[in-house]
Amino acid sequence: MSLGFGFSLAKRLDYLGFTVYAGCLSSDCEGAETLRSSTTGKMNVVQLDVTSDDSVNKALKFVTDHVNKNNLELWAVVNNAGLNFLGDVEFCPMDIYKRIADVNLFGVVRVTKAFLPLIRKAKGRIVNCTSVKGRLSLPTNTAYNITKYGVETFSDGLRLEMLKFGVKVIVVEPGNFGGATGMLNENSLKVMRKDFDTMWTEAGADVKETYGKDYLEGLYTAGVNSKDTTHKTLAPVIDAYEDAIVNMSPQYRYLVDGSNQLFDIYCMLARLNAILPVSCMDYLVDKVFSSGLPVIAAHKNK
* Annotation marks residue 144 as catalytic: yes
Q: Which tens digits make up the pLDDT trace of 10-30?
A: 999 999 999 999 999 988 888
Q: Which has the closest alpha carbon to 181: 136, 135, 234, 229?
A: 234
Q: How confident is the model at residue 2 (pLDDT cuts 50, 70, 90)?
A: low
Q: Which tens digits make up the pLDDT trace of 81-139?
A: 888 899 999 999 999 999 999 999 999 999 999 999 999 999 999 999 999 999 999 99
| Cα–Cα distance measured from residue 174 to residue 267, given in angstroms and rounded to the nearest whole number | 9
Residues 6+ apart with CB under 8 A from 191: none
Q: Which tens digits make up the pLDDT trace of 31-50?
A: 888 999 988 999 999 999 99
What mean pLDDT is predicted for residues 193-213?
A: 96
| Cα–Cα distance measured from residue 51 to residue 35, given in angstroms and rounded to the nearest whole number | 23
pLDDT of residue 161: 98
Q: How far is CA 127 from the centre of its chain?
A: 11
pLDDT of residue 182: 65
Q: What angle do CA 112, 113, 119 make, to 5 degrees?
A: 65
How many percent of the chain have pLDDT more than 70?
93
Domain boundaries, the chain: 5-290
Residue 84 burial (CB < 10 Å; 0-12/13-18/19+)?
A: buried
Burial state string for 157-169 with b = 16 or more CB within 10 A and e = fewer than 16:
ebbeebeeeebbb
| Cα–Cα distance measured from residue 108 to residue 126, given in angstroms and rounded to the nearest whole number | 10
Determine which one of 97, 144, 220, 254 is catalytic.
144
Name the CATH superfamily for 5-290: NAD(P)-binding Rossmann-like Domain (3.40.50.720)
